[in-house]
Each structure stands twice: as C-alpha cells, then as structure tokens.
Structure 1
Amino acid sequence: MDTVWIKDVGKKDIGIAGGKGANLGEMINKGLPVPPGFIITAKAFRNFLKESGIEKKLFDILMIDIDDDAQLKDAEKKAKQLIFNTKIPENIKKEILDKYRTLCNEEGGEVFVAVRSSATAEDLPDASFAGQQDTFLNIKGEEQLIDAVKKCWASLYGARAIFYRVKKNFDHEKVNIAVVVQKMVNAEKAGVMFTSHPSSGENVAIIESIWGLGEAVVSGMVSPDNFVIDKETYRIIDKKISEKTKMCIKDPKTGDTIYIDVPQDKRNAESLTDDEIKELVNLGNKIERIYRFPQDVEWAIENGKIFILQSRAITTINNNNIVKEGISKEPILIGTGASPGIVSGRVVIINSIKDLNKVEKGDIMVAKMTSPDMVPAMERASGIVTDEGGMTCHAAIVSRELGTPCIVGSKKATKVLKNGDTITIDGAKGTIYKGRIDTKTETKEEVVIKNKPIITATEVKVNISIPSAAERAAKTGADGVGLLRIEHMVLTLPMHPQKYIDEGRSEEYVDELVKGIKTVADAFYPKPVWVRTIDAPTDEFRAMPGGEGEPIEANPMLGWRGIRRDLTIKEHFRLEMRAFKKLFNMGYDNVGIMLPLIQHPYEIREAKQMMIDEGIDLNKVEWGIMVETPAAAILIEDIIKEGIDYISFGTNDLIQYTLAIDRNNENVSYMYDEEHPAVLKLIKYVIDKCNEAGVKTSVCGQAGSNPKIVEKLVEYGIKSVSSNIDGVADVREAVARKERQIILESALKSIKKDG
C-alpha cells in the first residue's frame, strides 16, 4: 500500500509515515484537533525510485565531496531535476488521487490541502534542524497535488539535507520520505508553541503568534508576538507584542499563498486573546504527556477553532548555562533572546550571500534574516543577530543547534550597527551592548560545586571526545573520565594512521596521541581517566587523507572496527600502547586502558600479550574492556579470568546488537529501547558477576546520561556511571536520590524484621 489515512497510523509508524505523519496520527487518535488527511508512505517514494528506474542514477549523483560548495549545489540541482522530470508510475499516482478524491468528497467539494514532507528521521528526539524538508500550502486540484508531491520528494536532496546526512553518517540509500496531505486550515492567526523553553528547558510554555498563516513565523519574515506562560497555573508571565507588518494568506482569487500588508489597526494589536492562550497551553500539556518529551507545536486558528498542524520533539534544550554575571550598562538594541550566552565580537553585516566570506571566526554576524545558505558562516560566527524572526525562525533554530548566542527580531540591527563595530550580545535576554564587556557565565555544574557537590558512593564520571573539552569537563566535579574516545583525536590528524606508519613517522603519531591524552589526564589528575583504544568505523577512516585503502562495508558499525582492527593491524595497536607507555613513564598513573568491541576472551589474551611486549606492567596499570556485545556479556565470567580490572557498558552498541536494530536506520529506530528487558537482564548479569569477582563496573554509553536508567543501574550495584559533560549534575542528583532510597528501604526492612 502506497498511501494510508492519517488516522490509521501512530507514533510507532515512523518508518511508514515519517515523523510528522506518525505524530499527527497519534494526536488524532488521542482526540486532539488535527485536520484530516492522508499520507503518501515512504514505501511509495521507494517504489517510485525503483519502478521508474532512476534509483542508481540518483544515488550516483550524490557521490560527491560535500565540503565543495560547487559540487554540493550541482548535486542538488541534478537530483531535483531527475525527480521533477520523472513520471510517477500510474499505480502510485492512482492511489494518491483516489485518496484525494475521497477527502474532497468527505469535505463536500474540492479542497485546498497542505502538502508537507515527512522525512522518516526528522522528528525523532535527536534529529537536527537540517534534516527537515519542504511544505507547500494552498494546493488544489489533482495536477497541483502531484506536482507538490514530487517537490516534497525532491526536497530530500536539498544541499543542506545532503550535507547533513553525510556529516551524520546517514546512508542516502536508506533515507526515506513520506508526504502528508492535509486539509488546509485557512488561518486567521497562527504560530508555534514550545512546551518548555527551547534553550534552557525551563518548565514554561512559550507561544509565538502572528496574523494569517504560520509560514511567516517559520520564514522569519515577521517578528511575532511572544507570550510566556506558567504551564501549571496558566498565568501569563510575560507578553511582548511586536509590530506585525506583513501577513501570509491564501489569495481569495487565485488560491496562491501570498504576503500582504497587515491592516493598520492590527499591526500592534495582540494576535491572541487570553482564552486562546490558555487553550493552547492546555493542548500543549496534553501533547507533552503523550510524548513524555518537550514539544515544538505548530498551530492555527480558523473561525475561532484551534487546529494542531504538527508536533515534534524539541532537540535544542541545553540547560547548562544558568547563571550569568549581570551587565549594568544600557543596551543599544533589544530583540528576542533565541539562544543563550554572552559574547563580544566584531560586527559583520550580511546583505547578500556574497558577504558570507567576510565572516571570520569570532565575529558577530548581523543580517536581516538568515537562510540555509548561510550556515557555514554561522558556524564561524561567535554570535548572530537578525532584524526579523522569532524563536522558530531559521537563525534561532540553527543557533541553538550550534550552541551559538543569538538574538532575533531586533528590528534595526542592520541599520544601527556598522561593519567593524565591537558589540556584546546577551543571547538569553536579547540585549545588545556597545563595546566589549567581559562577563562570566557559570555552568550548572559550577553552581553545584560552589554549593558543595553531592557526595555519592557510586562514582559519577564524565565522557570526553575532544581534549580541548577537558577543562570544562573537570569543572563539573566529576569523579574521573569514564570514557576518553581516542579516535576523535586521530580523525582530526592531517593523515590516516597507516600513512604515518608507511612514511616512517610513527613516533610523530605516538606523540600526537600522548599530547591529546595528557591534556585530559592533567585536567583530572589524580582522578582516573579510562582511555578507549581506537574504535572508528572504516567509513570515518576512509575520509582521512591516506584513507583511500579502507574497505567499503555495507554496515561499518558491524564491521572492521575496535579490537578486531587492532588485532589485524598490530603495528597500529603497538603504537597506541607505546603512547600509553610514554604516559606511564611520565608519571600519569591515573590513565587506564580500555579495549572496545570485545566478543571473545581470546581477543583479550592476544591484546594483553602485545601490551606486555610493549613494556606495560599490567599489575601497575588499570585496564579493562567495553561490554558492547551480547557475547561479551554472556561470557563475562571467562573474560574476568583474563585479569581485567574493570568493564564499562557501551549501551548504544549493546542495545542495537541485542535487539538487532541499526539505530541509524529510521525504519526501526523507534524500537531502540534502553529499558528493553533483554538489555537490562544482560547488564544486571554482568554487574552481578563482576561484583562477585571484585571487578569494577561502569557505563559510558548514552544510558549513562539518562537519570532514569542510571537509577536502575545503581539499584543493580554498578560502581560508577559516566555521563556527557552537560549531564553530570543531573546524573549525580539521580544517583544520590536512588542511594538514599535504597538506604531507607533497607532500614525499613530491618525495622520490620526486628519487629
């Protein structure tokens, strides 16, 4: 079946309906006011490619160097043209039109519809802004509908989407797209609602609203009204009423989507009544309860009735920066704070795409509004300011993803500021100051330390990928580093490790490893730093200069990586061990060695012998393994006999290998479950056996940053948990809470037993 009614799908049908379609179906079935419609499934798109015979040609077009802008834009043009110029097979076309005719009959005549792309990964909690595709409004008639469907399919191959997928290691051939066809809401007013603050995670609702269709909010053409509401009491905490000069409407004559001037009496009027605000918050609370995760909700009002057009997880919450030293001077401009942080820098005004090269690292980029083409410059900027836009415009979304301070809706930054000016911006308050102002931003972790850290019996450690993050990580007060990923150091080197070996520059390579590990070991000394030997998959190595000889694997995550690579290219493993030996000779007795992707004790024996051969005294060094495969968990007693000091659960891999789920495959990613009983049973079994043998246990996968899972692990008796940097404080609180609960329950049992 190539089409399905929205009401017949739910949130578990992402592989069929895409994130947007699955969410709409879930909300319809929970009684929320969602306009009716149908979905052209992801299978239909795949059938279109295969039956029309363009599949291979399309994916060949995408084999480019994504860092070459010319190649990227050429690939976008060719891929889109290929889809536009290819006829949809008659059987697929017939099914689409049959559904459209049925929808029209149910609505009493030919209707206008919104045709929305629904990529199968875009609305997952960890999806990026860059994965989202296009929407086409006010579509009417069979010919327009088919044209809009092809445009949605083609939008999967925009330059930004191609770039994003390659950077995130998504396989183009596995990425699918569904299309939602929904009765159009001819909105008198519309906007977006966040059920938590999209940057800080603060438990308030934020509503942005404008006159007309909501497209003007997303595009950033209009600065919307902004309302902050207490979600529990429905009290309106704050209102900012903007001057709304433009509105997007359906042309009553042609049906086209057009922009017109807002009538004078509405420009500065509140676009929502208090009752409408309260009703929206009530709906937002219901939606958040459905998904148990903060939501970004699109809504519209027609004839006084609220409709929910879309809901997706907020992916940009970062509650790390919470305390700021105040700025006492008066701001020269005020806008809407879209991404927190205080930075100073040189102003570079962007009037056109040609100006992007002027933005250098550390500059503050100022524009009327940003667009996808500006992302490379936005990545270089230390701060971003726009004239227009609200919390959901392009500049705001991208800035939150990048962690870059951003102010939107300043109205006149491009006119008031001058190129070369030095300014300071506060991305939380939305204020812009003249000159450089030195301020200090304290992290959540620093505040915890200042208020005396919570002491827990279970150690709370931190994961580090990049040595430059060591100082920030150490400030969390973590009890050490549970995972230092060595491959991130290697992948940033100027050439492939084998090229160092082939060119006789092995010592240079060893010194690079020593330098990176030493940076972290210094920051944490004398606390332990467990360093995982290299675990990069072949596709990541292949991208390095000199990596052309890497094998091409269908699924690199299941391929030649981790210990299996080290036991094949033994010279490279020996170089890693020489780096460790140098560190030990320098007095870094806090460094531990961790072997990844173990699936049999013989791998440990072979690696252990090479470690000894390189002069490492395993009686004086802590060393252990990652438990990432069911095989390692099941054989843990045999593995313990090899003399390891510790194990650390790599839960990301353990879950996908136990459940046979490729977590990067959007067709099955909804089944990825940290609480699956099989996974928990394996973890508990390993902890029990290690505790019996006196072997330390830890966790360094994503589950180590999830307070709910951490509480279970503490209950099982795990000795340490290792979290992402921004999760240390929350994880420590969860550990302390669980430990207190265990002590209390034990005491109550003892009292009950004693009578």
Structure 2
Amino acid sequence: MNHFLWLDQVQPSHHCIVGEQALSLSKLMQRGFPVAGGVITAIAFEQFRTAIDWLDPLLTDFSQSTLHLESDAKQLQAIARQLRDRIAATPLRADWLPHTWQTPALLLRPQVLHSGASANDWLAPQICWAEPDAIAVALKRVWSEVFRAKSLLFWQRMRSGSPSESHLPLAEIQLAVLVQPISAAIASGRLRLSETEKLLQGQPGLDGISGLTDTILANLLQGSSASPHHLQLNSHDRSPDCLVRTTATAQPILQPSQIQQLMQLAQAIAAEMHSGIEFEWLLTDRFWLTQVRSLSGEVGLPQPSLASDPVWVRGLAASSGQAIGTAWVLNDETIPADLPADAIVIAKRLAIASFHRFSIQGFAIEQGSMTSHSAILARELGIPAIVGAIDATRQIKTGDRVCLDGDRGLLYPVAIDRQLTGKSMTVKPSAPIRAIALSPPHLSPTQPKLMVNMSQAATLETIQSVPIAGIGLLRADLLLLDLLQAPATVSTSIQIKDRIRPFAAALHPRPVFYRSIDRSLQVSGRPLLGLHGTSSYALETSWFQRELLALRQLQQEGYDNLHLLLPFVRTVEEFEYCRSQVEQAGLMQPSFQLWIMAEVPSVLFLLPDYVKAGVQGIAIGSNDLTQLLLGIDRDEPQFAHHTAMHPAVLQAMQQLIQTAQRLNISCSICGQAASQPELIALLVQWGISAISVEPQAIETTAQAIAAHCASRMPIDRKFDFRDFH
C-alpha cells in the first residue's frame, strides 16, 4: 500500500493517520497558499514497528503489549538503546515513497497523533538528501526519537498520569511524518498574529525552524532581549519601522517589502482560519509555510492552557464540534430530567436509551470508543462528544463551567471572569453536510456504490442533494429509541411505519436497508456475548412481528425500495426462523431482498449454507466483527487501538467479499471502518459491492472510491496483511 500522501491529496478522513498539522497545511495548500510536501502516514510506522525482529525475549511482543518500565534509570536507558538499535538495523521497505523530488534536500518532522501530540514540541526532526537511501535512514531516525529514554518516560506519564505507575502502551503510539522540501534557504522563522499581538522572528538559513536550533522561539516574549538574528515587531506599531536590530552593524534579515509580504500572508491565513494564527516560514525564491496553528480555534472559544487550567481531560474525539456549558456529572448511565439548558454530560458511560428524552450540549464519557453506539448517535445528532475520557467524572464536578472540544478530544474548565466575558456560550455544532457534486452512483459496473448509514429523520435534509445510491444501514435501535422503552402494543406497528416512511420516501426508488431491532442495545451493562440480534426474536416475537407488519404496509403503499437486514445472526437455524416469519408477513415480493449482517465470525464458515437458506446479500459490520474476532469490547477505551485494520479482520473481510462474489450475492460494508482511506483501497481492490458510511464521511469516501477505482490494480494473491498492523 502507498503510505505516502502529497499534501494536496490529504482529505479530512485521513485525519486519524496524518494528524492535525498535515490536515491544516493541506487545507491551506488546496486554497492556494504556499505549501509544499507530503506526509508519511502513521500506518507506515505501525507496519515497520511490527516487522522488527526484537531478538531479546523481553521485547518480542513489544508492539502488541504493555512495556513495564522500572525506576532504574540505567535500565531505562538500556531498553531505549536496544529499541533504537533494532530500528536502525531493520531494513525499511520504502518503495511507496516518491522516487524523484523537485528539491535537493528534505525536512522530516515527526507528528505524534492523538493524546501524545504535545511531544511534537521536542521530538527532533531530520534533514536529509532527497535520495532513497538517505530518506530511509532519516525516517528511521525520526521513528527512533519515539524510543529515547526521555520519550519512554513521557509516554508512561501520558498514559498513567502518575510517575508511580509504569504501564507503557507503546502499541498505541501513532506517528506520522511530514516531509517538506528544503533548498537554499535565505532565512526562516516564525510569525504570530492575533488581536493583541504581532510578532515576527527570523534567522538566517534554516536556524529559524523549530527543532533545528537550541533557541526556543516560542519563549521569546515581547520586550525581552533578542539574539542578533531575531526580528521583533511591536504589537501596536504596524509599520516596518518598528523592526529592531540588536547591533548597529547587523544586517537586516528581511527587507521591508518582504516583511510586508509576510504580514499580508499572515492576514490572509488568519482570515481563512477565522482566528489568530502562528506559522513557521521559509524564504527561498519565495515564502513557504512549513507549520501553522490556530491560536484560538474558533472565535469566542477559549483555548486551554496547561499552566492556567489545571484540569485537563483528554479522550478520543468521537463527534466534532465545540460547546461551552455547565458540567453535569452522572452517578449512573441515565440522563436525568432536571438538566440545565446548557448541560454537558460527564459520565462513566451512557445508556443510549436515555438520549431521546432530553437535549444536551454534548457529552464526555470514560468508557467507549469511536465505534460505540453513543459515539455513533452523537455524530448523527450533531453534538460534540469525546469518549475514553479517563477520570473525567473525578476531575470535573457538577456545576463547573467547562469547554468540550469534540474536534480535539479535550475537556477543560473555563474561568468565566477570565475567558468568557462578553463571549458567546453557545454550542458550535459539528459541521453540516454541505451539498456536494459527486459522480453518479453508477459510474461503472465495477465501482462500489456509495451509500449512507442513518437513524435520524432530521438528517435526511442534509443528504437530499447528494447522489448516493441509497441507505445501506437504517438503524432501528436508534430510530425507535423512545418506542423501545415500553412494551409493544397494537399501535406500535403504525408508529414504526411512520418512522420508516420518511426514509423510504426521500430515497425512493433507491434502496433502503432497514436493520431490525437488537433489543440487547437497550439493556444497560449487557454482556458482550449476551442475547443479541435474531436469537431474541423466537423468545420475544412481538417487536419483530410488528416491524415486519410495518414493512409490509409500507410495501403496499408503494415503497418497494425497502429491504430487511437481520442483525447478529449466529446460525443458519436462526436465519431460517426469521425467513419463515418474513414469508408469513407477505414481504417476499420480487423487489424485496433479505440480507444478514456479517458480524458474527461463524458467517465466515457458514456463508454458503446461509445462501442456500435464502440469504440474498450480506453487510459486513466491521465494528462487531472486529471485537468478536479479537475478543475485545469496543466500549472499553483501552482496546481502542484494535481496529478493523488488524490483519485478522482484514483477512476475514476479504474472505467474505470474495465468497459473496463466488456465490453471486451482493456484499456491502457499513461499520465505522468503511470510511477509512486505507481500507477503502482494499475494499475496492477486493471487489466490494457497496460502501455505506456516516453522512459526514460521504464526500471524502466518494473521492477515495473514485481515486482508487481510477487506479485499480489486479488483486495481489500474495498480499501480506501484516503490512497493515
């Protein structure tokens, strides 16, 4: 696989493998700003790490286990040295890197993703010649920075929060690498522009690039003494005349016209990002941007500071958007009725059954992952959320004013008198799905159809102008949340029918795959292997029969685009029982299709038998398939690094797709992993029929499908799945 992306190829869906900096630079580049280079994704680092022959038994299972560090400094240094020696000695397959570069040299910058991102300030970058061997050596040196003794201590403390604990989950460290061209540099430096500050710093050559000099530019305060090469622009004086040279003989690094160019560039970037900004610049034949960051994220949204805000809760950014409000810490999993209007819920976990009752600004929970049902529902409701927020219920108290940042996975207190005076305290919701011009859904016979996962009718309006091929997953559990809190009655089928009809009408004649109820999702603290899916239908038939009646009545109204998707099917006998119920309900019309979710591993061995019994298609549920194959609970944050890109899961998905092809039935995928660019490339290669994603991922998934279909290669029968883990 190609683990290198040019910055103009980076899409928002790549965020989890390239990091915030590459994504920011890519956005600016695509808007015409002077940015160049690319990024080596975090998957390359993970692939290389798992390929290392560690020799020492202590480190054999290093990439998939927790390394225990003792307090002995010499032992720590010895471990660090051994780790780095093995990295240096391991050959690097870098045939996925470009063979030619339009520059003599390259700058490689480490970019730690997720909760370790603050390490980017001190992990050393590397400069190398733009030649394959030199790049390989430099790249391994960048990766080795992660395993210096000081780095190992940092990861330990990031994870535990206490020096007394010594559990180091090295397999969770994700590292991308920015690759930027370096030529004869006249000067380099940093520029900071905000409402109250205007600061320009520079040095000859490359010395102004952070990490390449001992001078810490960010700590140079206004009014302090500067080194001979620093240029400082007064906050209130906007003329070039305020440049101060520390000696009468020093030559100016930048001419007034160049300073003016930089300031104009800064103002344009600030306008684009809607905030104050700070960026690093490089001057060759023109100015280039090498790093950029927003100083305030969003206008009116206070930014946290470790120094000023002692409580700092980090988690996984599960649903985008930001909110400022009143913390409400729950003692159990149920959202209460007496919440303030601006409530931000803090809990160990949330029962999704209580979501329908009350409106909340957002939530942070200690349990959960990107694929947990609370995270899925938050994304569709458009409220910010973070999951895996360790100790959030202990560090935050009910009544605290807090800021929840669902884009960066942060929760921190806000001092009203210091940061919120005169500022709005409303939610900045997740970005709406904008109308996009995609290729027609049936561009070619071999191109997978693009479909969407849904459960909330309010979201229908956002996809009206998007040429998707249909709804690949209509989640009954979330669609009928409130109805499921009471026993089924005579009127229940009418209520279900009224909930489904808007989706069938909005998409007609495009297909809508309705996944029937899994009542176990409504049960708090359910066991992973409890009474799930179709196994419950024979024990308690009332809900399933009412669902079938609602579907039949909609068929009779003319909605012949509705199909049934059975959840969590364990055995052929379970399917045969459900099929008999479907036949008795009169649903088996020529236009109707009966599918099953392919999420219980037994389907890998029973698919031919399922097809003989009447299965007409399968939808791979990558979320449950992953946790069942790997024996994990997706609601436990410590397992969040186990994803559908695990080699066992990849092999299972390939087997399902190719078996479906052989049996002449359709195969789709509708889990969270379906929108990952690296997985899309494989799905296209294997010949999947359809890819169904959340509404926010439609645009980037469409672009990824088109790109991979355009360059589709024959399937490599010798493909090594370990390349992805």
Structure with the larger helix share: 1
